[in-house]
Structure 1
Amino acid sequence: MLYSKILVAYDGSEASDKALDSAIKLAQLNHYSKLEIIHIFNMPTYDVGGQYLVPPIEIEQAYSEDVVAKIKKKISNFTNVNIEVRKGSIAKQILQYAQEIHADLIVVGSRGLNSLGEFVLGSVSHNVVQHAPIPVLIIK
């Protein structure tokens, strides 16, 4: 099956590298395919003795800039592509963006990293699969 609009969730992890590589290969099968890449940053807050600590916004921005630079390097030979950067709940933003752009396939890694490099043990991919009204390809 050929897909015309492929959405890839990318966080800079090894699993998302594999997901992006797979999505590029799928998109190249149909020269009319558009590749949509979404990066969502979601800086966690920490409860320390009843006070909430939020990392400085500069850390968030620097991390996202690094991720976008990595994406641009990986897609340098692919022309029909768009990169979207959003903030918020990762699975919710993936699903919302997929609906907005009328994606016909979502590609995600089986496990990824959050903005601080901590493992998210498949909860994002599981949530996307459970709630997506379109096919989801999980790359291991």
Structure 2
Amino acid sequence: MSFHNILVAYDGGMPSVKALDKAMDMVRHYPESKLTVLYVYSVAAVAVADSVVAVPASIQREQFLEAQEQLKQAEAQIASIPNATSVLLEGSPGETIVRYAKQHDNDLIIVGNRGFGPLREFVMGSVSHYVLQHTDVPLLVIK
């Protein structure tokens, strides 16, 4: 079975690097395939008592610049693949990956098995688990 429109979620962590490597291997075997590297960064609000406080603009800017820098590393890796592109979006990672895949008719999503630190993953749930529960697109989770 070949896939023609592959989406790989990337956050610069080792699991996402492995996911990107696997996606690139697949695209090399099926040259007609398209590869999209999606980096989703989130600007979290801070809860204080009964209020939600927005993150200062300077920190939001830092997060955006860090996301751009991480994505540049992926772009360097995919530069040799003709049908490869990258996308940077802000939002909830799991929700954004699922929505993007649906809107762009991806026929495979590849993610690393972890994208968060252990505590954050425990509290919020992992991106890979969210995608698994909410997408109709085949999902490949790379360990």
Tell me the TM-score normalised to structure 2 length. Answer: 0.87
- Deviation of 1:53 after TM superposition, in Å, equals 4.8
Distance 1:51 1:95, change over 3 A: closer
Structure 1 vs Structure 2 CA RMSD: 1.9
Q: Distance in 2 between matches of 1:52 and 1:64?
A: 22
Task: Show the counterpart of 1:25.
Answer: 25
- Deviation of 1:60 after TM superposition, in Å, equals 1.7
Distance 1:57 1:22, change over 3 A: same
Tell me the TM-score normalised to structure 1 length. Answer: 0.88
Task: Show the counterpart of 1:120.
Answer: 121
Unaligned runs of 5+ in 1: none
Identity within the alignment, % = 34
Task: Show the counterpart of 1:96.
Answer: 99
Q: Distance in 1 between matches of 2:52 and 2:116?
A: 25
Distance 1:129 1:62, change over 3 A: same
Say which is worse superposed, 47-56 or 100-109, in terms of deviation.
Answer: 47-56
Q: Distance in 1 between matches of 2:120 and 2:21?
A: 21
| 1:56-95 matches, cutoff 5 A | 56-95=59-98
| 1:37-52 matches, cutoff 5 A | 37-48=37-48, 50=51, 52=53
Is the contact made by 1:112 and 1:119 (CA closer than 8 Å) also made in structure 2?
A: no
Is the contact made by 1:111 and 1:119 (CA closer than 8 Å) also made in structure 2?
A: no
Q: Distance in 1 between matches of 2:78 and 2:116?
A: 20
Letter of the 2:127 partner, please give it: V
Q: Distance in 2 between matches of 1:73 and 1:24?
A: 12
Say which is worse superposed, 89-98 or 52-61, in terms of deviation.
Answer: 52-61
Unaligned runs of 5+ in 2: none
Letter of the 2:82 partner, please give it: T
Q: Return structure 1 stretches of 4+ with deviation > 4 angstroms.
A: none
Can you list the C-alpha shifts for 1:88-140, whole angstroms capped at 9, x where unaligned? 111111011101110100000000148xxx85356210110111112100001
Task: Show the counterpart of 1:14.
Answer: 14
SS in 1 for 2:97: helix
Is the contact made by 2:116 and 2:126 (CA closer than 8 Å) also made in structure 1?
A: no
Of Structure 1 and Structure 2, the greater helix share is in: 2
Task: Show the counterpart of 2:135.
Answer: 132
Say how many residue pairs are matched: 137
Is the contact made by 1:8 and 1:23 (CA closer than 8 Å) also made in structure 2?
A: yes
